[in-house]
Amino acid sequence: MRTLSKWRFEMNRRDWLIGSAAVAGSALTVRFQRRKYFRDLRPKRSRIAILHADRYSDKLDELVYDGLRLFNLDVRGKSVLLKPNIVEYIPGKPVNTDAQLIGAAAEAFLRLDAASVTVAEGPGHHRDTDLLVHETGLGDQLTHRKIAFVDLNRDEFIKTKLQANYSGLGQLWLPRTVLTSDFIVSMPKVKTHHWTGVTFSMKNMFGIVPACRYGWPKNVLHWAGIQESVLDICATVRPNFVIADGITAMEGDGPLNGSPKYLNTVLLADDPVAADAHLAEALGFEATQVGHIRQASQFLGNIARNRIWHLT
């Protein structure tokens, strides 16, 4: 018959270890399951429109304008900020949002009576933003259409409390140009990304973080976790709209290496999460396989099909 002391001894050696592991596991589970966002920003329904375009041309002006009209957006008198994805100029590699699409979007918002349209980007590796804007052809578009450009790496910065706590950063210095805009449009180049799986509208918002404060690249955020930082940034500055460049997308080791993938699509959406979920599927992923899309679906936007309306 087992004595009490023997029983205690056995408990200590085996069960204590099992019990401790269970307690530690529960604590970790609670830690990861604890809600890390402060507000539920999901709309009741989200809308997307998939526009067909097989090349970059002047025809994008009408295509994007007509596409925006499907959404009945109220941008009259508002300051619109277009945030494209301008990373690095590599001839033959479709790594950047196409300049012609950016120009077409700017024109369309002006036609919808926006008070102003500004194109703004903070390139992650390249310190010579003027050169990058010139090389990518964006400079010509801006000049031709008389659109202002702001280098977000060298803007005025405002210390901002983050509206989610995935990265643990708590707060970030963010550009005034972004924080004071009425209507923010994320314009990603659709591509796969070595570290985050994909670069779509939410990952594109990483570029608003000023390199002048966080370095070229914004390495502080890499170490805090790219996906976690993306969630915190988008919870704080949620894009109002998405215009994604999937005419020539990129597959492979993005953000810089990869092969063209011709999706022949410009995707418009009023929900960045719905947009990214659709784009993930277009590139052959389950949306929930991408960590930041899966997490964002809990508070930033919708991925459930019954909450997404297709306008085209």
Partner 1 sequence: MGLLRDVQAEIETGSLSSGGWVSGNGGRAGIETTCYALMALHDRQGPARDDAIDLLLRTQNPDGSWPAFDGDDPEGCWTTALAVIALHFVRSPSALVEKSLLWLLDNDGREGHWFWKWKFRTVDRAVQFNPEKYGWPWFPGTVSWVIPTAFSLIALQQLFPCCRTERVTNRIQLGMEMLRDRACPQGGWNAGNGIVFGSPLKPHIDSTAIALLALTEGKEAVAIQALNWLRQACIDCPSAYSLAWSAIAFSVHQDQAFNHCIAHLRKALSLTDAISNIEILSLAAIAIKAGESNANPFQVAI
CA atoms within 13 A on the CB side of 179: 17
Name the one range near partner 1 by CB under 8 A: 42-50, 103-111, 217-225, 272-280. 217-225
55 binds partner 1 (CB under 8 A): no
Q: Which residues in 234-263 contact partner 1 (CB under 8 A)?
A: 252-253, 256-257
Cβ of residue 98: shortest distance to partner 1, in angstroms? 19
Of 109, 214, 241, 299, the one binding partner 1 by CB under 8 A: 214
Give residues with Cβ within 8 angstroms of 181, minimum separation 6. 79, 80, 81, 118
Give residues with Cβ within 8 angstroms of 25, minimum separation 6. none
Q: Which residues in 73-92 contact partner 1 (CB under 8 A)?
A: 88-90
Q: Which is nearer to partner 1, 100 or 153 (CB)?
A: 153
Q: Specify which residues 246 forms β-bridges with.
A: 265
Name the one range near partner 1 by CB under 8 A: 58-66, 76-84, 103-111, 216-224. 216-224
- Sign of the Cα pseudo-torsion (78, 137, 53, 120, in order): negative
Cβ of residue 213: shortest distance to partner 1, in angstroms? 5
DSSP string, 134-159: HHTTHHHHHHHHT-EEEEGGGS-EEE
Q: Please, are residues 281 and 287 in contact by the beta-carbon 8 Å criterion?
A: yes
154 binds partner 1 (CB under 8 A): yes
117 binds partner 1 (CB under 8 A): no
Cβ of residue 227: shortest distance to partner 1, in angstroms? 16
Of 38, 56, 71, 216, the one binding partner 1 by CB under 8 A: 216
Name the one range near partner 1 by CB under 8 A: 46-54, 130-138, 284-292, 293-301. 130-138
Residue among 136, 92, 124 at smallest CA distance from 259: 92
Cβ of residue 103: shortest distance to partner 1, in angstroms? 20
173 binds partner 1 (CB under 8 A): yes
Report the alpha-carbon angle 265-272-250, nearest 5: 40
Q: Which is nearer to partner 1, 94 or 272 (CB)?
A: 94
Of 153, 192, 204, 297, the one binding partner 1 by CB under 8 A: 153
DSSP string, 50-84: EEE-SS-STTHHHHHHHHHHTTT---TT-EEEEEE
Cβ of residue 13: shortest distance to partner 1, in angstroms? 32
Tokens of 103: 């120009």
Name the one range near partner 1 by CB under 8 A: 74-82, 171-179, 293-301, 304-312. 171-179
Pairing type for strands 148-151 and 183-187 reads unpaired
Q: Please, are residues 194 and 95 in contact by the beta-carbon 8 Å criterion?
A: no
144 binds partner 1 (CB under 8 A): no
Cβ of residue 216: shortest distance to partner 1, in angstroms? 6
Instruction: Report the length, in residues, of the chain.
Output: 312
Binding interface with partner 1 (CB under 8 A): 88-90, 125-128, 130-131, 134, 150-151, 153-157, 173, 176-177, 194, 212-217, 219-220, 222-223, 252-253, 256-257
